Structure 1
Amino acid sequence: MGWRTGLHLFLHVAAPALAARLAWRKDFWKSWAVMTAVMVVDLDHLAADPVFDPNRCSIGFHPLHTVLAVGVYALLSFVPDARVLRWIGIGLLIHMGLDGVDCLFQER
């Protein structure tokens, strides 16, 4: 595993922790756990061959990493009176944002 992959995986845990700390201090552990659990969205990588390619941009390639999916995730972040759904939506947006940044740093 290269340094970029390690950093990417670390940020998938650290960025939700920072968001949880800043926005939901009282519910830190719950919000962090939900936002981190959305990494299950990466199960769509199992449909790809190879399953893991450090130089493949996930955004637009995998079915749950499309612009349409990101739109749905954005809508989830605004569901009124549904804390957990908002955490899921925000966690997914953080995830997609990190994957998007990773696309920018890929070796071409």
Structure 2
Amino acid sequence: MIQSTIHYGLHFGLPLFIALLFYRKNWLRAYGIMLLAFLIDLDHLLAHPIFDSNRCSINFHPLHSYYAIIVYVLLLLPKPSRLIALGLVAHIISDVADCCLM
């Protein structure tokens, strides 16, 4: 229960914190764009079973691989991709925290 609360709290709370801190004027738009990072969880559909509460997503699913994470970090550099990259990196941070709690 605590693990899932922390995991989903980070999934929704970390992008909200970033949006309110750095994009105060347009925080709702920034938050919405960062939440689009949930789309990387579509790679869970490739796994069998699709959901396993005892499986660490990091380096198991293709969009959660170390190579993908490097791309997400590099996407922080150009301004046009920064918001989605922030969402992706925040998503990975929450998944790493989940793995650490297993």
Q: Which of the five TM-score ranges fits, normalised by the shorter chain?
A: over 0.9
Partner of 1:74: 73
Q: TM-score, normalised by structure 2?
A: 0.93
Written as runs of structure 1 = structure 2, the 5 A alignment for 1:42-61 is: 42-61=41-60
Q: Distance in 1 between matches of 2:48 and 2:16?
A: 31
Listed as ranges, the gaps of 5+ residues in structure 1 are none
Task: Say whether residues 1:40 and 2:39 are aligned partners.
Answer: yes
**Matched residue type, 2:18:** A
Aligned length: 102
Distance 2:89 2:9 in 1: 16
**What is the Cα-based RMSD across aligned positions, in Å?**
1.1
- Structure number with greater CO (CA < 8 Å, separation at least 6) is 2
User: In structure 2, the residue corresponding to 1:25 is in which secondary structure?
Assistant: coil
Percentage of identical aligned residues? 40
Is there any run of 5+ residues in structure 2 with no aligned partner, and where? none
Q: How far 1:38 sits from its partner (Å)?
A: 1.0
TM superposition score normalised by structure 1: 0.88
